[in-house]
Structure 1
Amino acid sequence: MNVALVTVDSLRADRIASRVMPETRAFADDAVEFTEAVANGPSTPASFPAIHASRYFASIDGLGIPPADAGGPIRTLAEVLSDAGYATAGYTDNQFASGAYHFDRGFDVLHDASSDGANVNEVKQFVQRNLDKDGAVFRTIERVYTRVDALFATAGGREFEHERADSLNERALEFVDARDGEDDEDWFAWLHYMDAHHPYEAPAEYQRRFLDDPRSVGECRRLSRKGTHHPEEVTDEEWETIRCLYDAECAYVDDQFRAFVDALEDRGVLDDTVVVFTADHGELVGEHGHAGHPPEFWEGVVRVPFIVHHPERSAATVDGQIRLVDTAPTLADVVGVDAHDDWEGASALELIDGDVDAREWAFGDVGRSVDYGRCCARRADGWKLLRHADDGELCFDVRATPDERPEDDRSDAPEYDALAAALDDHQDRMRRMREGAERGVDETDEMVTEHLEDLGYLE
């Protein structure tokens, strides 16, 4: 059985609706849809260790995951499937989900970080696999590569900030086509679409679905910077435009995801392929006075779609809570491969089959820069505790008060004690796991700053 994992950057769960994403809504109606899937972090760096390695971000010292030669207990889904005989390939245009942060582990091919030049990309992958990533030579080449890659993109006349989903589809389908005729070789393909990530600059035909007049790329980027960095200055009219631009990007993703699934069907491989559609985190478009995905744990940021098309399973809707750390165990289970012993999550198929109840706890964390003081615990019954470091704590019953307004805070409720104890235990456990463990990329590394700037997190 083949596996296609499609992750979308910054896609809120509530956009999987006929108004915005009708094709994905139809896909979900014919598949197994988990309606309460929770991201284990509010950003790509915080979420992708969970997706690829079933590992909480706060359990790793640094960003990304450790390199393959570091030893230790971390194993990626791609490594597990590769060991089981799968051909593996990944396609991403987010540096924080790239080989620079060791997410190339287990992939035969990884197209990453906006490389429009095949030769440049081949050189980069050779460097990553053959040089000490902590050494001065590697770091010098990595920084030079980042600048050269940007030059290639400019020279190639790329109109948009990120490589579009249709281009990633083409790359992945070339990989699928190359497997045609290979005896008994199943494949695993991962695509990470960046289109719903700010700046929202969808092609004009998609903007026209939500706006009378399409905005220029320059105007889209201006609004994105304003909403992300100066939200207090955004007018009501501008917030509405930002929401429409975000919806336009989601609509574009909708068409491209359908095109990818249709292409698998046209090639006669869909009936032999499990397709999982999810997101690394959600997005705010004016809620709580923010745009984008700040290091906070509002429902708009942590609730994500999670849809599983399995050729041998009937359509179903599963309301029990799952987490992104369940992604790798679920996909391993789907194809009958043993899960890695040190994965933190568990297979979501157990919920479909009724063998277990909803995952009682979902935890989220962000970074060392705030000493992991920003975190959350979400219980399966909808009770949720947010710790936003110096901004304090908030406790909500999100089923009763989904807007999570300050006046809805229930820190005085009996449920608070259980939430606080569970979150304390989680933080203590994460701290113990970080101590003496192999390291990812240091958050103070100059490369990290460059990537934050590239993705619009720093002005």
Structure 2
Amino acid sequence: MGSDTSHPDEPVSGSSMPAESRSTDADPEVSNVVLVTIDSLRADAIAPYDADRISPVLAGLADDGTVFDRSFATGNWTPFSFPSILASEPVFARNGDIGVADSRTLASVLSEAGIATGGFNAANGFLTSHWGYPEGFDEFEPFVTSVGSSRYSRYLAAHPTVEAWIQLFASPFRRLGSRLRGQSDERPFLDASRMFDVEDAATDFIDQSDGPFFLWTHYMDTHTPYVPAPRYIREVSDGLVGTHRMLHAHSRTSLGLEVGERTLRELRTLYQATVKQVDDSVGRLLDALEAAGVADETAIVVAGDHGEEFQEHGHLAHYPKLYDELIRVPFIVNVPGEDGGRVSEHVGLDAIPPTVADLLGVESPPEWRGESVAPAIRGEAEPDQDPVVSVTVRGEEVTEQPIPRSLADGDLLVSVRDAEWTYIENADTGETELYHRPLDPTQQEDLSADPTDEELAVVEEFAPIAADHISELRDREGGAVGDGGDEEVDENLEARLEALGYR
């Protein structure tokens, strides 16, 4: 499924054409950038945003780097947020498509500047060649089908929930066997999330690189189903929550039974355990940079692509809503020699491509929407303070709809955010919502029905921004040549999407 234009036994190196695309400034201090994106990672799930969380590697990156306290995704689903993360543009904004085909992606801009590029995605089917994501990567692997040639392996690749259940049932026996052999049970019985595939490929890419590089890794561990190795459950809990509790939580949710406080606590524990599992994997990537002798010249960028709901607004996972549990995400940039501290100004994830390009001394193309936050990292200037716009598309049933692949799949919802306020508008029904997050952090009290003068002023400022975005997307919809879903989706890819809940 992936594309790979480099031979595995040859070093990855830059091209011979950097002069035209490189910045005219002095050579950058950063030679390489590693972008780590973590699916379904809400901001308060890691220690830099909540001191009670256990994520020491990410905490270390934050302590020595820059933490953006108010960073927002541009959508509640991977295909709605990644056009901003890897192409600095809104979803649907180019041609009514959810992908990045025909876009000036970050990887393509860097590749043209002579920087080696590698991208490794832990089997999220929306980040594949069908939607244009390999463009610009010298090495790209989505791990959707490359899991072995046996029928059994192919089946498990397309059905991660089945794979997760195998791990759940087998883990007590595996743990006992590990203890009898005096071994650790750190590694999951099955690599249900493709974490080790991504980690191994990224390590190989680092080892083979002999010049400046850009590496992107995308983790799926924190996406449902949450199936961490048992040791991580013990590390983030009181030690009493074990595999049998995992079975209880997954049984109730998979059967559609009522999720009470006990099940919700167990799901949160499992989720936090997957965060710790990813944290350890990121630590091993940092070790690989050290072993390769390039850690001191490599910037690390960490972001969630969207968040995750635990019934703050009545549901689990990430259904089509635009509240903070789904839109507020971590954004951490660790640049050697730069301790930017904490940045309180709001920022959207469309800042990632221009920031990475800036750090590598590459000029951003004019069509990118975001602004580099490298000046804030260096303590030179605050981020651009235009409100952040996010979108989703909601069908008739919140929990039954497939992931939309065009604007025609439901009502278009648009949110506009700054550091304090959230405005949400349904473009099809005209319904609006307004929340003041400092006093209402979970957005439970809609202020739009009877606004004060201050609240009305916010609406008058934000509504035209929403209207402009809606108008732009509708214009693109009218001239769209396709929605990325008109062409037949590969059978294995469609099975993978369905297994992740994306019908």
TM over 0.5: yes
1:382 paired with 2:420, answer: yes
1:10 paired with 2:45, answer: no
Q: Assess, with a 3 A threshold, how the Cα gap between structure 1 residues 239 and 270 changes in structure 2: closer, same or farther.
A: same
Displacement after TM superposition at 1:325 (Å): 1.0
State the Cα deviation string for residues 148-204 of structure 1 (Å, max 9, x = none).
Answer: 96499999x98557434333111101111112xx3xx21111100000001111111
Aligned to 1:133: none
Aligned to 1:188: 214
> For residues 308 and 337 of structure 1, what CA distance do their matches in structure 2 show?
17
Aligned to 1:453: 498
Structure 1 runs, 4 residues or longer, greater than 6 Å off: 145-148, 151-155
RMSD: 3.0
Q: Assess, with a 3 A threshold, how the Cα gap between structure 1 residues 316 and 408 changes in structure 2: closer, same or farther.
A: same
Listed as ranges, the matches of 1:268-287 within 5 Å are 268-287=293-312
Residue 58 of structure 1 aligns to a residue in which SS?
coil
Q: Which of 352, 363, 373 does residue 348 from structure 1 map onto?
A: 373
Aligned to 1:128: none
Aligned to 1:169: 199
Q: Assess, with a 3 A threshold, how the Cα gap between structure 1 residues 376 and 350 changes in structure 2: closer, same or farther.
A: same
Q: Assess, with a 3 A threshold, how the Cα gap between structure 1 residues 78 and 223 changes in structure 2: closer, same or farther.
A: farther
Listed as ranges, the matches of 1:306-317 within 5 Å are 306-317=331-342
Displacement after TM superposition at 1:33 (Å): 1.2
1:27 paired with 2:53, answer: no
Listed as ranges, the matches of 1:182-221 within 5 Å are 182=210, 185-209=211-235, 210=237, 212-215=240-243, 219=248, 221=250
Alpha carbons 1:332, 1:339 under 8 Å: kept: yes
Q: How many residues align?
A: 418
Aligned to 1:257: 282
Q: 433-442 or 16-25: which moved more? A: 433-442
Q: Write the letter of the residue equivalent to 1:188.
A: F
Displacement after TM superposition at 1:146 (Å): 7.9
TM-score normalised to structure 1 length:
0.83
> For residues 63 and 418 of structure 1, what CA distance do their matches in structure 2 show?
28
Listed as ranges, the matches of 1:95-174 within 5 Å are 95-117=125-147, 150=158, 160=190, 162-174=192-204
State the Cα deviation string for residues 50-79 of structure 1 (Å, max 9, x = none).
Answer: 11111101314132122x5xxxxx210000
> For residues 386 and 341 of structure 2, what CA distance do their matches in structure 1 show?
21
Residue 288 of structure 1 aligns to a residue in which SS?
coil
Alpha carbons 1:394, 1:411 under 8 Å: kept: no
> For residues 214 and 262 of structure 1, what CA distance do their matches in structure 2 show?
30
Alpha carbons 2:423, 2:459 under 8 Å: kept: yes
Aligned to 1:77: 106
Alpha carbons 2:116, 2:138 under 8 Å: kept: yes
Aligned to 1:429: 472
Displacement after TM superposition at 1:87 (Å): 1.4
Q: 146-155 or 348-357: which moved more? A: 146-155
Alpha carbons 2:96, 2:473 under 8 Å: kept: no
Q: Which of 329, 332, 341 does residue 304 from structure 1 map onto?
A: 329
State the Cα deviation string for residues 55-113 of structure 1 (Å, max 9, x = none).
Answer: 101314132122x5xxxxx2100000110111111111211112222100001111114
Name stretches of at least 5 consecutive residues in structure 1 with no aligned partner: 69-73, 121-144
Residue 126 of structure 2 aligns to a residue in which SS?
helix
Displacement after TM superposition at 1:23 (Å): 2.4
Alpha carbons 2:76, 2:321 under 8 Å: kept: yes
Displacement after TM superposition at 1:20 (Å): 2.6
1:63 paired with 2:98, answer: yes
> For residues 162 and 303 of structure 1, what CA distance do their matches in structure 2 show?
26
Q: Assess, with a 3 A threshold, how the Cα gap between structure 1 residues 146 and 88 changes in structure 2: closer, same or farther.
A: farther
Displacement after TM superposition at 1:435 (Å): 3.8
Q: Write the letter of the residue equivalent to 1:417.
A: E
Task: Determine which structure has the larger helix proportion and give its number.
Answer: 1
Aligned to 1:129: none
1:321 paired with 2:351, answer: no
* Aligned-pair identity (%): 30
> For residues 371 and 319 of structure 2, what CA distance do their matches in structure 1 show?
28
Alpha carbons 1:91, 1:168 under 8 Å: kept: yes
State the Cα deviation string for residues 238-283 of structure 1 (Å, max 9, x = none).
Answer: 1111111111111111111122112212321111111101111011
Residue 275 of structure 1 aligns to a residue in which SS?
strand
> For residues 162 and 417 of structure 2, what CA distance do their matches in structure 1 show?
43
Residue 345 of structure 2 aligns to a residue in which SS?
coil
> For residues 96 and 143 of structure 2, what CA distance do their matches in structure 1 show?
23
